[in-house]
């Protein structure tokens, strides 16, 4: 047996041992007795659901109001099925409902129920309405048939996995919405998918692994290109894009190099569909802007410590305060808001996180730390574009535990 094989065996034995000892110990703890106070949550995305979950566990009655017919927010309508199977999401949400969180679907605050009424009837409110609106790029032809905005496209496909599109699809943008749109377009039947990005691939905000998988699946990327206008065919439908060739200039405030147009280097690409995926923004139509502090980006002004807005007893978090961010950040805000709301309503701000579990010391021997990661199980490329089957299938249980139990010393890198 090689040294590496011995080290892997040790690591797996360690994990198996731990699994055996703790299997029966990890249980959901009981919920604190009700305290007679009611909290309303607006938006059943990652942030709103997390806040509701912890508040119920601390004894509050929680009503979550959601405008869509499904809970989950971006997790349900944005992130595609092949990255997050909706069955898994539905199961997680059902666990949250089992704790006692009441989710009212098809209920838009501002239309079906006025915000003022919510404020009157509840002791506190958490607003977690995310960024629902696609940012436009404001160039000629953006309203032509065949030009779709990324978040709207993903929402349509997530609601109907049989959605079909033929021909060449051009996606504009370099974030997760753009890459998700490109990979989704392939699965909907597009014969060619090209992403246009104004900087270089290494500066794309999308996750590197997602870009890598997209390229493996056949998505092409044209770097240093920016759309100037969308051009229609004789029927008035988008047929091509006039693009500006870009080059890299000085570094900007974000630490990335600026993209600068190259003169007299415009070029044209054909397109049967264009998906514009540059960003999303939030709108807060249910509160009068003069009654609450709003930043110049249209997000709420909140206290860093408590997430309370400038309106007494009204808290906000997740994308609606940060702009497009990450799931874990939305969850963290939901948890922080639950602590603050508990304090605001007279509690100690200590969440009921259930019975603590023993976390064993990690394996820190040099040969274990130096081992490569176990490879993830991944769906073969040839099976991917014909279906929405999950692509990253995860680790074998023991491999996952073994990975979690070694310290990779990220702090030293």
Ligand X SMILES: Cc1cc2nc3c(=O)[nH]c(=O)nc-3n(C[C@H](O)[C@H](O)[C@H](O)COP(=O)(O)OP(=O)(O)OC[C@H]3O[C@@H](n4cnc5c(N)ncnc54)[C@H](O)[C@@H]3O)c2cc1C
* Nearest C-alpha neighbor of 320 from the set 275, 286, 276, 277: 286
Q: Does 123 bind ligand X (CB under 6 A)?
A: no
Q: Does 124 bind ligand X (CB under 6 A)?
A: no
Q: Exactly one of 326, 365, 404, 407 binds ligand X (CB under 6 A); which one?
A: 326
Residues in 329-358 that interact with ligand X by CB under 6 A: 330
Q: Exactly one of 58, 132, 226, 309 binds ligand X (CB under 6 A); which one?
A: 132
Contact 273, 169 (CB under 8 A): yes
Toward ligand X, which CB reaches closer, 242 or 325? 325
Cβ-based neighbours of 10, under 8 Å, separated by 6 or more? 363, 368
Size of interface with ligand X, in residues (CB under 6 A): 37
Residues in 133-152 that interact with ligand X by CB under 6 A: 151
HSE of 336, CA atoms in CB hemisphere, 13 A: 19
Q: Does 286 bind ligand X (CB under 6 A)?
A: yes
Distances (CA, A) of 223 to 197, 208, 243, 299, 388: 5, 15, 11, 31, 27
Minimum distance of ligand X from residue 3's CB (angstroms): 36
Distances (CA, A) of 31 to 36, 207, 275, 355: 14, 37, 46, 11
The secondary structure of 100-122 as a DSSP string is T-EEE-S--BTTTB-HHHHHHHS
* Site mask for ligand X (CB under 6 A), range 301-320, x = bound: -----------------xx-
Q: Does 15 bind ligand X (CB under 6 A)?
A: no
Minimum distance of ligand X from residue 13's CB (angstroms): 33
On the 0-12 / 13-18 / 19+ scale of CB atoms within 10 A, 195 is buried
**Euclidean distance between CA atoms 395 and 48, whole angstroms:** 30
Minimum distance of ligand X from residue 73's CB (angstroms): 2
| H or E stretch covering 239 | strand 238-251
Q: Does 213 bind ligand X (CB under 6 A)?
A: no
Minimum distance of ligand X from residue 254's CB (angstroms): 18
Q: Exactly one of 14, 15, 47, 307 binds ligand X (CB under 6 A); which one?
A: 47
* Site mask for ligand X (CB under 6 A), range 60-99, x = bound: -----xxxx----xxx--xx--------------------
Minimum distance of ligand X from residue 264's CB (angstroms): 36
Residue 400 has phi, psi (to 5 degrees) of: -60, -45
Contact 315, 341 (CB under 8 A): yes
Toward ligand X, which CB reaches closer, 181 or 240? 181
Minimum distance of ligand X from residue 334's CB (angstroms): 7
Distances (CA, A) of 36 to 58, 123, 382: 11, 10, 56
Point out which residues bind ligand X (CB under 6 A).
42-48, 65-68, 73-75, 78-79, 108-110, 128-130, 132, 151, 154, 176-177, 180, 286, 318-319, 324-328, 330
């Amino acid at each position: 047996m090689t040294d590496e094989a011995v080290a892997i065996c040790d690591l797996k034995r360690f994990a198996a041992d731990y699994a055996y000892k703790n299997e029966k110990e990890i249980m959901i703890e009981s919920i604190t007795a009700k305290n007679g106070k009611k909290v309303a949550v607006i938006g059943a995305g990652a942030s709103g659901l997390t806040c509701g979950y912890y508040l119920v566990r601390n004894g509050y009655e929680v009503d979550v109001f959601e405008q869509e017919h499904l809970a989950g927010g971006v997790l349900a309508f944005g992130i595609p099925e092949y990255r997050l199977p909706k069955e898994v999401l539905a199961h997680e949400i059902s666990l949250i409902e089992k704790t006692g969180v009441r989710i009212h679907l098809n209920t838009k605050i501002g239309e079906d129920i006025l915000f003022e009424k919510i404020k009157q009837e509840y002791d506190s409110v958490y607003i977690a309405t995310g960024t629902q609106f696609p940012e436009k790029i404001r160039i000629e032809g953006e309203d032509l048939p065949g030009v779709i905005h990324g978040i709207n496209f993903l929402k349509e496909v997530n609601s109907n996995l049989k959605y079909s599109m033929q021909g060449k699809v051009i996606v504009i943008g370099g974030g997760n919405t753009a890459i998700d749109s490109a990979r989704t377009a392939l699965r909907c039947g597009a014969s060619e998918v090209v992403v246009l990005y104004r900087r270089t691939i290494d500066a794309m905000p999308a996750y590197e692994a997602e870009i890598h998988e997209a390229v493996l699946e056949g998505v092409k990327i044209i770097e240093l290109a920016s759309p100037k206008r969308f051009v229609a065919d004789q029927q008035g439908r988008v047929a091509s894009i006039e693009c500006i060739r870009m080059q890299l200039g000085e570094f900007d405030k974000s630490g990335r190099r600026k993209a600068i147009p190259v003169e007299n280097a415009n070029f044209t690409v054909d397109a049967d569909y264009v998906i514009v995926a540059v960003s999303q923004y939030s709108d807060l139509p249910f509160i009068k802007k003069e009654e609450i502090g709003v930043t110049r980006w249209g997000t709420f002004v909140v206290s860093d410590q408590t997430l309370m807005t400038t309106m007494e007893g009204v808290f906000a978090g997740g994308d609606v305060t940060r702009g497009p961010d990450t799931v874990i950040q939305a969850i963290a805000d939901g948890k922080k808001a639950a602590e603050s709301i508990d304090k605001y309503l007279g509690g100690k701000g200590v969440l009921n996180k259930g019975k603590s579990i023993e976390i064993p010391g990690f394996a820190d021997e040099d040969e274990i730390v130096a081992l490569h990661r176990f490879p993830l199980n991944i769906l073969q490329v040839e099976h991917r574009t014909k279906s929405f089957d999950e692509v990253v299938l995860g680790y074998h249980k023991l491999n996952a535990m073994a990975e979690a139990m070694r310290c990779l010393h990220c702090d030293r890198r």
